[in-house]
Amino acid sequence: MALTPRVFLPAGQIQDRVRQMGQEISRDYPEGPIYLIAILKGAFIFLADLARSIETPSRIEFIGISSYGRGKTSSGEVKLTKDLDVSIEGQHVLVVEDIVDSGVTLNYLINLLEQRKPKSLRIATLLDKPDRRMRDVDVAYVGFQIPDEFVVGYGLDFDEDYRSLSDICVLSES
């Protein structure tokens, strides 16, 4: 059976919401720099748009985390695959994530980053699937809450495919 992407959130709607999130973050952080730490790879497009919507000066960093899973579910086992190149001690840190699903990834990452004594530590996610939460995570900025559907595009993948779609799509069997 073939998998067909069906548009769920069109590009224009994503752009509007990301711009609003950038304005809200700019208001909340009058002083920079904000260290925007994006989780590879899924958050790279959201990061690019969000960073350009934030007026407060920011710095861009990447961190790699694998949840050991291929396909549509995380294995629940988390591993750091690429660490930060800089110290975040005493800095404002905003973790930028594509989607919070079980919460396992962010729960692990927040515990790790807290040990490094940032001045503040918050999360911005484009998508949130609250139905599937297994670990508690406190997310300060959410773009869209979505139902329990597997989505691709705008950075999100299914086995590394579909990341470059401008819309967010549901993958359905046809």
Q: Which range touches ligand IMP (CB under 6 A), out of 8-16, 20-28, 84-92, 94-102?
A: 94-102
In the complex, what is the shortest distance from the CB of residue 55 to ligand IMP, in angstroms, rounded to a whole number? Answer: 27
155 near Mg ion, rule: CB under 5 A: no
- How many Cβ atoms are within 10 Å of 18's Cβ, its own excluded? 22
In the complex, what is the shortest distance from the CB of residue 47 to ligand IMP, in angstroms, rounded to a whole number? Answer: 13
CA 159, CA 137: separation in Å to the nearest integer?
Answer: 25
In the complex, what is the shortest distance from the CB of residue 171 to ligand IMP, in angstroms, rounded to a whole number? Answer: 8
Q: Which of 100, 36, 28 is nearest to 63 (CA)?
A: 36
Q: 101 catalytic, yes or no? A: yes
34 near ligand IMP, rule: CB under 6 A: no
CA atoms within 13 A on the CB side of 168: 24
155 near ligand IMP, rule: CB under 6 A: no
DSSP structural state of residue 164: T
Q: Give strand ranges (E) for 10-152.
A: 34-40, 58-66, 79-82, 92-100, 120-128, 141-145, 151-152
In the complex, what is the shortest distance from the CB of residue 61 to ligand IMP, in angstroms, rounded to a whole number? Answer: 17
156 near ligand IMP, rule: CB under 6 A: yes
One-letter amino acid of 152: V
Q: Is residue 11 classed as helix, strand or coil in its secondary structure?
A: helix
Query: Which member of 22, 42, 153, 155 binds Mg ion (CB under 5 A)?
Result: 42
Query: Which member of 151, 153, 154, 167 binds ligand IMP (CB under 6 A)?
Result: 151
Paired tokens of 15: 């752009």
67 near ligand IMP, rule: CB under 6 A: yes
Paired tokens of 131: 């139905």
42 near ligand IMP, rule: CB under 6 A: yes
- How many Cβ atoms are within 10 Å of 131's Cβ, its own excluded? 11
Residues in contact with Mg ion by CB under 5 A are 42
Residues in contact with ligand IMP by CB under 6 A are 42, 67, 74, 97-105, 150-152, 156
Residues tagged active-site: 101
